[in-house]
């Protein structure tokens, strides 16, 4: 997968050299470049923002540098990337969208700051490439940079060859629309707290049943919205009653 990121704070993306994302880059599974939006400014102050039309607080990112950046990184004579714009006004970022993005050959992330990017940039880009405005949740960040780190981590781990143990993709929280059951390792007793006996029983059928019930109970308590969204046929008659 090819990924380009445009930002006024390239230093935010230092962590992308680390851990499994860094390894994916070194292994050639992820080809990633970070670009400074100010590259595409032409005034001495390298200005990227201006006051909002219609008044109000804060500043808005000017369209001209963004237009030039997208022209350079999504040229008309090459396959178009999918443009992803993090914003609290976007569609919710969920595991299903992570899977969708992981299937794209090219992603281009546009990190807004201040009150956001002039909407005409996204309108115009939409005539050339698919554009998705994405929100991490119902809170406000200073800008899109940290959101891109989150999105990229969720997407990169779905790329073929990045995770050693593909089974952990199957089992994890959200894979089946449920939160994952709690996990334990040795020792069997620690500071007076015991590992649930059933997990040490060796009875794999009962263990699977226990994990499913714990996942259902946890999801019901913590995320009743997820439980309500489960299709009826994904529950079976042996499931715990909630
Ligand atoms: Cl994706 N961007 C910003 N700036 N704030 C957010 C967000 C994204 N998601 C939640 N808050």
- Listed by start position, the domains of the chain span 2-156, 167-234
Superfamily name and number for 2-156? SPOUT methyltransferase, trefoil knot domain (3.40.1280.10)
Our mutation pick for probing the ligand 1 site, out of 9, 12, 83, 86, counting the most ligand atoms within 8 A of Cβ, is 86
Whole-prediction pTM:
0.94
Our mutation pick for probing the ligand 1 site, out of 141, 146, 148, 151, counting the most ligand atoms within 8 A of Cβ, is 141
Q: 38-71 pLDDT, tens per residue? A: 999 999 999 999 999 999 999 999 999 999 999 9
Sign of CA dihedral 71, 74, 78, 82: negative
| Residue 84 CA, ligand 1 centroid: distance in Å | 12
Q: Please tell me whether 139 is known to bind a ligand.
A: yes
Strand partners, 5: 34, 109
Q: Please tell me whether 112 is known to bind a ligand.
A: yes
Any residues with Cβ below 6 Å from ligand 1, and which? 86-88, 90, 134-137, 139-141, 143-144, 147
Q: Please tell me whether 137 is known to bind a ligand.
A: yes
Is pLDDT of 95 > 90? yes
Query: How distant, in Å, are the alpha carbons of 33, 121, 145, 204, 228 from that of 10?
Result: 10, 21, 9, 48, 41
* Element at 219 (helix H, strand E): helix 204-222
Q: Are 5 and 33 in contact (CB under 8 A)?
A: yes
Least confident of 131-135, 145-149, 166-170: 166-170
Closest protein CA for atom 4 of ligand 1: 143
Average pLDDT, integer, range 134-163: 96
Is pLDDT of 16 > 70? yes
| Residue 141 CA, ligand 1 centroid: distance in Å | 5
Burial of 120 (0-12, 13-18, 19+ CB in 10 A): exposed
Strand partners, 117: 61
Does CATH place domain 167-234 in 1.10.1270.20?
yes
Residue 190 half-sphere exposure toward CB, CA atoms < 13 A: 7
Q: 178-234 pLDDT, tens per residue? A: 999 999 999 999 999 999 999 999 999 999 999 999 999 999 999 999 999 999 999
Integer Cα distance of 155 and 97 in angstroms: 9
| Residue 55 CA, ligand 1 centroid: distance in Å | 22
Residue 114's pLDDT band (cuts 50, 70, 90): confident
Residue 171's pLDDT band (cuts 50, 70, 90): low
Query: How distant, in Å, are the alpha carbons of 14, 15, 84, 98, 229 from that of 148?
Result: 12, 12, 9, 12, 27
| Residue 166 CA, ligand 1 centroid: distance in Å | 30
Residue 172's pLDDT band (cuts 50, 70, 90): confident
Q: Please tell me whether 136 is known to bind a ligand.
A: yes
**Structure ipTM:** 0.95
pLDDT at 220: 97
CA torsion angle 193 196 201 204 (round to 10): -140
Our mutation pick for probing the ligand 1 site, out of 7, 90, 136, counting the most ligand atoms within 8 A of Cβ, is 136
Is pLDDT of 169 > 70? yes
Q: Please tell me whether 138 is known to bind a ligand.
A: yes
Closest ligand 1 atom number to CA of residue 138: 10
pLDDT at 64: 98
What percent of the chain clears pLDDT 70, i.e. is strictly above it? 99
Is pLDDT of 150 > 70? yes
Closest ligand 1 atom number to CA of residue 143: 4
Integer Cα distance of 118 and 99 in angstroms: 29
């Amino acid at each position: 997968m090819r990924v380009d990121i445009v930002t006024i704070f390239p230093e935010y993306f230092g962590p992308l050299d680390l851990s499994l994302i860094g390894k994916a880059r070194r292994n050639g599974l992820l080809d990633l470049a970070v670009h400074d939006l100010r590259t595409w400014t032409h005034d001495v102050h390298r200005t990227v923002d201006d006051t909002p039309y219609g008044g109000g607080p804060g500043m808005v990112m000017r369209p001209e540098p963004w237009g030039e950046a997208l022209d350079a990184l999504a040229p008309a004579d090459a396959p178009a990337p999918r443009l992803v714009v993090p914003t609290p006004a976007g569609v919710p970022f969920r595991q299903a969208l992570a899977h969708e993005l992981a299937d794209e050959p090219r992603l281009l992330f546009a990190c807004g700051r201040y009150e956001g990017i002039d909407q005409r940039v996204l309108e115009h880009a939409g005539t050339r490439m698919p554009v998705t405005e994405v929100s991490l949740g119902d809170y406000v960040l200073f800008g899109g940079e940290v959101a891109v780190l989150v999105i990229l981590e969720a997407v990169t781990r779905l790329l073929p060859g990045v995770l050693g143990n593909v089974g952990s993709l199957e089992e994890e929280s959200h894979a089946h629309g449920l939160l994952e059951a709690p996990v334990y390792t040795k020792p069997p007793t620690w500071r007076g707290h015991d590992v649930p006996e059933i997990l040490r029983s060796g009875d794999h059928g009962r263990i699977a049943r226990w994990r499913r019930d714990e996942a259902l109970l946890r999801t019901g308590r913590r995320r009743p919205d997820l439980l309500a969204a489960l299709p009826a046929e994904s529950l079976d008659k042996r499931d715990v009653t909630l």
